Amino acid sequence: MRILLTIFILLSINPVWPIGRNPVIGDPFIIVNKAKNELAFIKGGKVQEVMKAGTGKSNDLTPEGLFTVTVKAKNPYYRKKNIPGGDPRNPLGTRWIGFDARGTNGRIYGVHGTNQPWTVGKYISQGCIRLLNPKVEKLYDQVPIGTKILVVNTKKDFVTLGKEYGAIKR
């Protein structure tokens, strides 16, 4: 029993563990604002970059809440239409950053690239968040498994949201 309690305590204070204190100032943090179709990447207590993002065709398709990045893939396979990663027909682009929305395991909802760059910045997807391939590639390299991602629909700016969620110092 003591061993289980010790393991639980150690895991819960680990900054990568989803139960622990996340995000903390300095850690990477992603915020997606569906109201503006923008994604902000926060690291080191500052907004590093804001980029256009495509979100769900209807408001309910892209889930809102605080989630955890659980899966990452280079040249992801598109299961729905059996399109291999790296194929120019693959709508997921060059990178997949999956998160655990709606009780899923990171393979249903994600931030990904696209083979249709004109769709970025629009309400167009079936629930995922689309970025231009060069943008998602850069983000992919900076976001480890365990990173928190906040998806909202608000008029608040990214600095305010970062402060409210502990990623930026108040």
Query: How would you classify the pairing of strands 129-130 and 55-56?
Result: unpaired
Q: For residue 70, indicate whether it is catalytic.
A: no
How many residues are listed for the chain in this entry? 170
Of 32, 97, 120, 128, which is the active-site residue?
128
Q: For residue 128, indicate whether it is catalytic.
A: yes
Beta bridge partners of 96: 73, 112
Strand ranges in 25-127 using DSSP code E only, listed in sequence order: 29-33, 38-43, 46-52, 55-56, 65-74, 95-99, 109-112, 123-125
Of 112, 130, 135, 148, which is the active-site residue?
112
Active site residues: 112, 128
